[in-house]
Amino acid sequence: MSPNYATWSKEELIARLTELELRVKGSPKYRNAKRDPSPTGGRTFHFKDHPLRKIAVKFCYSGWEYNGLAYQIDPTPLPTVEEVLFQAFAKARLVDPEAGLDGCGWERCGRTDVGVSAAGQVVSLWVRSALPANGSAPPVERLSGPDAAATEPFEQSLATDPPDATSDADNGDLEFPLLGIIDEPPSNSSAPPPRTEELHYVSILNRVLPPTIRVLAWSPVSPGFSARFNCRHRHYKYFFTSHDLDVSLMQQAANYLIGQHDFRNLSKLDPAKQIKDFHRCIMKAEISPVSGEGDNTMYVLDLMGSAFLYHQVRHIMAILFLVGTGLEPPSVISTLMNVDGTESSSSRSPVPIVDRKPEYQMADGLSLMLWDCAFTDSDVRWQTDDACGGGEAGSGTGLYRQLHSVHQRSLVHTTLEAHFLAAAARYHPPPPQHFPFSQTGLTTSTIQSLADTEPAVLAVPLGGGTYRRGVKYIPLLSRKRLDHVDVANERWRNGKGSRRGEKTDIGITVADDE
């Protein structure tokens, strides 16, 4: 039987309210819940109360704007792509920001370096869904945080500046702030009817992302799907001009890459990963023209493989540039892959064994792009918001127009730069052309004999308009060799690796080096 509060004195009522307030404060519901009102005026709810689904997201980004793809714990000069992308997911309340990347099961298909772009990068993760749960989600405690707040109408509210997740309203000025909690009806009493249409992920994300990152499509995936391990192959493109290069020689060298080979001498060793097997399978290595004509023809190397080592593509391109100039023969690719004597040459002559990598500089990263990450049709079904009635802004036609506009401005910049060069050529003659040797008839020895007073400077292309300049060229196989990978790995285990293990044992997280 409820007490008759009408007969209670003021002191008795205050004592009763104080008792109820202390009781509610001690309840698990109060401790685990944040009672801020919904920013859009709807009912308050928590991230953990919403259904989840696992999806894959395909996106592109301009690598020169970022400090690489992978999220970094330590501060970086520029933001990373994953940092900005995850913040967009969190701002759109598709993931719980308190749980971080691990909390939503974040996995990337391929890691790109600082300055490297992508047109078809893929990540997989668990996100908030508008539809009933349709798969086994990760544990709730990993997917929800104490301060997460979201509302269903947020998809529509993104058309303007997204509201803050925390309301300015504060009940702390009221004498008894908890009466509303005691008397509120069950939260499911005003539950909205279930939705039959999924959230417009492409539009939602593109409205909060910078224009240098664009989400292209998304796909529902199974709970066990992994963007990394379900990928069948990665397709990279490296763009370069034919200036100073014999492209036919470069293609001859690229042909040696096809198949399963040991690429330790055509990549950068990262001892922290403790890699022992450097065999990778290349399915395609083809050079073809893209645009332009004459000395300024733009070419692209299409390199397709099941997986790649650290900086592998850029090391391969560096060697191809040396071959294109005539400084190295095409067979040098086969020689660098002959780590244990298993490689053979087309001329049936013995191939030197190179079990340690010679020193050389890798190609520039600006020209490199991760073009595509391929999956089976049974794993992914790429779709856009247009398929389910999504609006134009940030998706479909709108997205195409955005990228088309960027492309048009880039063409204008290219034309302007060409005219700057033409204006300079009226007063400053171009330097003598030494490469490619197959066309100039020169060699490293005859170049210096043609010099008047000062030694001739060799400008070896590194891609992206960069060059390595010097007066003397040392053949690759005559250069200083780096330590054997076994030696480098052991040195890391006994040094930095052991110190990292000690820090991990006492609970200090150490980030991997880039």
Catalytic residue positions? Answer: 113
Query: Which residue shows structure tokens 């054997």?
Result: 484
The pair of three-digit structure tokens given for residue 251, joined into one six-digit string: 């293609």
Give the C-alpha distances (Å, rounded to integers) separating 20 from 24, 171, 175, 181.
Answer: 6, 17, 13, 10
C-alpha span between 246 and 250 (Å, rounded)? 7
Structure tokens, 482:
């780096």
Query: What's the per-residue H, E or C state across 144-173?
Result: CCCCCCCCCCHHHHCCCCCCCCCCCCCHHH
As a residue count, the chain comes to 514
What does each C-alpha distance from 85 to 50, 121, 375, 466, 493 come to in angstroms? Answer: 21, 12, 22, 30, 34
The pair of structure tokens assigned to 132 is 């009933």
Place of tokens 């020209």: 367
DSSP letters for 193-237: PPPSS---HHHHHHHHS-TTEEEEEEEE--TT--TTTS--EEEEE
* Six-digit token string for 363: 């190609």
Q: Do residues 281 and 330 touch, judged by C-beta distance below 8 A?
A: no
Crossing angle of the two packed helices 312-325 and 247-255, in degrees rounded to 10: 130
Task: Evaluate the omega torsion of the peptide bond into residue 432 and state whether it is cis, within 30 degrees of 0.
Answer: no
Distance from C-alpha of 184 to C-alpha of 434, rounded to nearest angstrom? 83
SS3 string of 362-405? CCCCCCEEEEEEECCCCCCCCECHHHHCCCCCCCCHHHHHHHHH
